[in-house]
Structure 1
Amino acid sequence: MEIQGTGFPHQSVTNDIWWYYMVSMSFYWSLCVSQFFDVKRKDFWQMFIHHIATIILMCLSWVVNVFRIGTLVLMVHDCADIFLEVI
């Protein structure tokens, strides 16, 4: 019996993590594209760079096989977005 968390970097990706990554990735790509068609804001380029950096970090966490940590970071980021949108 293998203890969960061992066997790095050869860990399998579950369906729920795969879908979470794909939905999050497509959400950030859509934000990058829709930003050009929305009302131009003062922080346009900062947000564009933020979205591109997020996509790059998600891709790197997937390729380097640290998707478990990447999933935790995404969840914390998504939970914080709820409160930021209320303000």
Structure 2
Amino acid sequence: MNPSQRAHCDVALAMNQRRSMSAAIHIGLVGSPPPKNAPRYRVIPVSGEFFHIVDTGTGKVKGFRRDHNVACAFARKLEQEQLP
């Protein structure tokens, strides 16, 4: 790569970094808290009226409930038990 091409690449890289930083500032990503961890347990509808509570790490079903709200409450309970 000749010096002219190298200079062009350096300028293009700097402009790209500046544009990315500008976009991050514009949408408020700079200075914001880091994202929360993904939930450990996920509620998944299976057949018409049943919901499985699945461990996202292993993919194993930890329980099932008939009502969605009860299934979500059970998933939150399991999540609280996992915290140190």
Same fold (TM over 0.5): no
Structure with the largest fraction of strand: 2
Per the normalisation by structure 2, the TM-score is 0.28
Structure with the largest fraction of helix: 1
Per the normalisation by structure 1, the TM-score is 0.27
Higher relative contact order (CA 8 A, sep 6+): 1
